[in-house]
Structure 1
Amino acid sequence: MSSQTEHSGGTVYETDYDAVIVGAGFSGLYQLHRLRDEFGLSVKVIEKADDVGGTWYWNRYPGAQCDSESHVYCYSFNEEILEEWQWSERYPSQPEVLEYLRFVADRLDLRKDIEFGTEVTSASFDESDGQWRIGTDDGEELTSQFFVTAVGCLSEPWVPDFDHIDSFEGEAYHTGRWPHDGVDFAGKRIAVIGTGASGIQVIPEVAEEDIDHLTVFQRTPNYAVPARDRPLEDDDWDEIQKNYDEILQTAHENGFGMPFDPAYPTAEDKSMEEVREILEPRWQEGGFRFMLTFEDLVFNPETNEKVSQFVREKIRETVDDPELAEKLVPKDHYYATKRPPLHTNYYETFNEDHVSLVDVTETPIERMTPEGIQTSDDHHEFDMIIYATGFDAMTGTLLNMDIRGRDDLTLEEKWADGPQTYLGLAVHGFPNMFTITGPQSPSVLSNMPVSIEHHVEWVSDAINHFAENDIRLVEPTREAEEAWTAHNTEVAEQTLYPTADSWYMNENIEDKPTVFTPYIGGVDVYHQTIQEVAQKGYEGFELTESISDLDPKGDQPSLSVMEGD
């Protein structure tokens, strides 16, 4: 399917598609629907999996579950989908989220424009004709005017470079690439490496299986709050449906994309006894409502220390062995400055006789062996190793696609010192490229579908505007990019986030630059900012008809949207 666009002077540009999108998860599906069905553009989605789902296709490990409440972890743009779909539990598990995305894909007839089982291996901007050339692993090349990445923020699995990692002769799995036909745990000695969000979910599930023994290797103890998951009965759903418009509007106007606001401005002026009285009902309620009890949690160390102390006390109350409890109590970072997981019986699991903990800060992993894991003081034999070691977050998948912009500049070279973007949406030197929930946007610090909808709608409206106004090339100026990058850093430095060695800061991967990658200014503030950029004629972008018109220096007046920040 070819697309032709005629511009002033009679020049006709021909491409295979108006837009090529990479990824068929929440972002890619909605982006396809909006560009194709709302604006009538020719669109192709490239997806390396065999089905829709994105992260929910790959992350099939036992216990995989969403940590946003189901009735807001969904699309809000289609009333019929909202009415037809009913979630079964407070926090949807992986199979149900995948089923939901399949339902949406079928309901909107999206599959016909998705190329499954195909991986993008390169994407380069051709300056001779101002179009993107996208190469795939089957040897094909597609051309398009616009290139949209919808690859997710946590989609590139990462495993530390353990010595002799390939020597292990047992079964080895990463939670982010779990076998689709399941895993047999019966009677096996199993290691789980990692106690981040994935580890905290998978560990209790594995412990419940008929296994011989489970050994957890922990580098950094984590603050985890009970999810308090439960089925959603018909009465619950009736109440949600009755107030759905208001619930979704509140979520879209909230700083974290959630349908609830902090109850108290601060804990600084309260005694620890008062803080306990406030937090206990929220602890019993479970979920992120606990994290949002105090408005200044991630800004004020005094508030945070009181909340952190409360969680530490709960861990000590739950774990029977005092010495083991102390190993599970976080002491090196503030609560929520690393991703704050929700859990179901995580701490209780360590009271089981067939579960043990190895603290790798005390006895580091030295190497893998054919039989298991050698630490500094012992050799542990296993039949199976589960790597719950997380992801090359925020930028990993983007950098692995060999994306090249003007002058053959690679995105990896461009971001050698950390991501540089304008609004987390576009990159100077890479015309007509948009990154859905890219670095320097709220993304992982929000309820993702809300941020996804904001981005997809902005990008779709922008592309349609450019088409209607005979604009061939769009690129943020260098100055706009520098201003937004500086703003992102400035806002982060006003918080406690930079005090923790987290994947938010790229600290989980040794050779990545230490920078805060998401935007913490709030979904509400961010959404208002990008709307104002559009209303001002896409301020901060150069809109032209030819490559020669793009200013390599990006000289522009100061951006008014940054004033006063």
Structure 2
Amino acid sequence: LYDFWVRKTRSRMTDPKKRDIVAPLDQFEWFGATRVNLEMDYYEMLDRPNVKLIDLKKTPIQSFDRQGIVTKTPDAITHHDMDIVIMATGYDSLTGSLLDMNIRDKHGVQLRDAWKNGISTYLGMMVPNMPNAFVLYGPQGPTTQTNAPPFIELQVDWVVSLLERMREDGLRSIEPSEESCRSWKSLVMDVFESTLFRDSTAWWTGANIPHKNIEPLVFLVLSYPGSQGWVWVSRKDPKLSVRAAAKIYQVSRVTLTRRLNGTPSRRDTMPNSRNLTLLEEEKLVNYILDLDARSFPPRITGVEEMANYLLADRDAPPVGKHWALNFVKRQP
């Protein structure tokens, strides 16, 4: 994939030095482990003769002065005259701003000191020893790996639900335990280590900041499709929307689409498995999507397994549509 990209990109440029800077032949990152440059005419603009391109990894900035910027290499010091310098800031992502705010916990310990060996949060929203403090769109949450506005709404809903529960129970203070934060970090790390992101030098690992701990700054929701994966994990007694659960466990209208198109799924070819008819499957998926709240175990990956799980407790009253009782009676 990288070879395809680099071949296509280099063909758009004529300057060999610039080509080697922005599209080197030697792969420097896993494709997709950093954000793909979705651009128009970007490389053609860099290739223009009136544009000078400096590789700061090989030619670092030594200083600024009134006339411009000074760069230095082992062989030379070069002054670049400039009228305007645009400072690109903000790349100490997710933790930089928090650590610069002089935040202290209830024992007077600065957050910078508390996190000197690594980030510690619960769900990316709460920090141990910091009662009644909530962080939205922060470190160890899905954050930059999800759609920001709806995910922030999910976090706000979570906080509101918690505050309502505190009011009902007469609680004035709440904070996460060290154990819960360790458990959350373990999950964040496990997901991170299972992906190519672990080898990335992108800003979401902190690798772009000298002396910063290299660790996942975000909860990679790749293993839990969409920000709804965070929702599922965040609720020990989840009132998880079934539309979200269906998405997480691959029980959705995608299944129906495959059946309608005549495309067999993996479970269709499994031995000793009773396949659902299209009508049964359609009813089941609609039933799942119409439920108000359910907690599904992560082992469930298919529609038939979901049906068996949902209908296992035959004494339970039906939730949502009543077709489920008839469906139960038809089970072998």
- Report the TM range for the smaller structure's normalisation: 0.5 to 0.7
1:492 Cα deviation after fit: 0.3
Alpha-carbon distance change, 322 to 434 in structure 1, aligned in 2, over 3 angstroms = same
Cross-structure match for 1:122: none
- Contact 1:319 1:347 survives alignment (8 Å): yes
Task: Pick the structure with more strand per residue.
Answer: 1
1:534 Cα deviation after fit: 5.4
Whether 1:520 and 2:227 are equivalent positions in the alignment is no
> Structure 2: how far apart are the matches of 1:476 and 1:352?
55
Cross-structure match for 2:314: none
The code of the aligned residue for 1:340 comes to V
Cross-structure match for 2:171: 471
Q: How does 1:113-262 map to 2 (within 5 A)?
A: none
The code of the aligned residue for 1:529 comes to V
1:418 Cα deviation after fit: 1.9
Q: How does 1:65-464 map to 2 (within 5 A)?
A: 306=1, 308-329=2-23, 331-375=27-71, 376=73, 377=76, 378-464=78-164
> Structure 2: how far apart are the matches of 1:348 and 1:372?
25
The code of the aligned residue for 2:202 comes to S
Alpha-carbon distance change, 344 to 388 in structure 1, aligned in 2, over 3 angstroms = farther
1:325 Cα deviation after fit: 1.6
Q: Runs of 4 or more off by more than 6 Å in structure 1?
A: 561-564
Cross-structure match for 1:505: 205
1:399 Cα deviation after fit: 1.7
Alpha-carbon distance change, 360 to 405 in structure 1, aligned in 2, over 3 angstroms = closer
Q: Percent identity?
A: 30
The code of the aligned residue for 1:435 comes to V
> Structure 2: how far apart are the matches of 1:562 and 1:397?
37
Alpha-carbon distance change, 373 to 562 in structure 1, aligned in 2, over 3 angstroms = farther
> Structure 2: how far apart are the matches of 1:471 and 1:534?
21
- Contact 1:462 1:534 survives alignment (8 Å): no
> Structure 2: how far apart are the matches of 1:499 and 1:533?
35
Q: How does 1:2-21 map to 2 (within 5 A)?
A: none
1:518 Cα deviation after fit: 0.2
Q: CA RMSD in A?
A: 2.5
The alignment partner of 1:332 has SS state of coil
> Structure 2: how far apart are the matches of 1:390 and 1:465?
36
> Structure 1: how far apart are the matches of 2:109 and 2:62?
38
TM-score by length of 1: 0.39
Whether 1:481 and 2:181 are equivalent positions in the alignment is yes
The code of the aligned residue for 2:5 comes to V
Alpha-carbon distance change, 453 to 340 in structure 1, aligned in 2, over 3 angstroms = farther
The alignment partner of 2:130 has SS state of coil
The alignment partner of 2:86 has SS state of strand
> Structure 1: how far apart are the matches of 2:237 and 2:84?
52
Structure 2 unmatched runs, 5+? 241-295, 300-332
- Contact 1:483 1:562 survives alignment (8 Å): no
Q: How does 1:35-54 map to 2 (within 5 A)?
A: none
The alignment partner of 1:360 has SS state of coil
> Structure 2: how far apart are the matches of 1:313 and 1:457?
47
Task: Pick the structure with more helix per residue.
Answer: 2
Cross-structure match for 1:493: 193
- Contact 2:130 2:175 survives alignment (8 Å): yes
> Structure 2: how far apart are the matches of 1:389 and 1:355?
22
Alpha-carbon distance change, 476 to 356 in structure 1, aligned in 2, over 3 angstroms = same
The code of the aligned residue for 2:186 comes to A
- Contact 1:445 1:518 survives alignment (8 Å): yes
Q: Which has the higher contact order (CA 8 A, sep 6+)?
A: 1
Structure 1 unmatched runs, 5+? 1-305, 537-560
The code of the aligned residue for 2:133 comes to M
- Contact 1:334 1:496 survives alignment (8 Å): yes
- Contact 2:202 2:208 survives alignment (8 Å): yes
> Structure 2: how far apart are the matches of 1:395 and 1:404?
14
Larger Rg: 2
Number of paired residues? 235
Alpha-carbon distance change, 323 to 392 in structure 1, aligned in 2, over 3 angstroms = closer
Q: Deviations over 1:304-341 (max 9, x none)?
A: xx2x2222122112223234222211531112322334
Q: Deviations over 1:161-220 (max 9, x none)?
A: xxxxxxxxxxxxxxxxxxxxxxxxxxxxxxxxxxxxxxxxxxxxxxxxxxxxxxxxxxxx
1:427 Cα deviation after fit: 1.3
The alignment partner of 2:175 has SS state of strand
The alignment partner of 2:207 has SS state of coil
Cross-structure match for 2:234: 530
TM-score by length of 2: 0.65
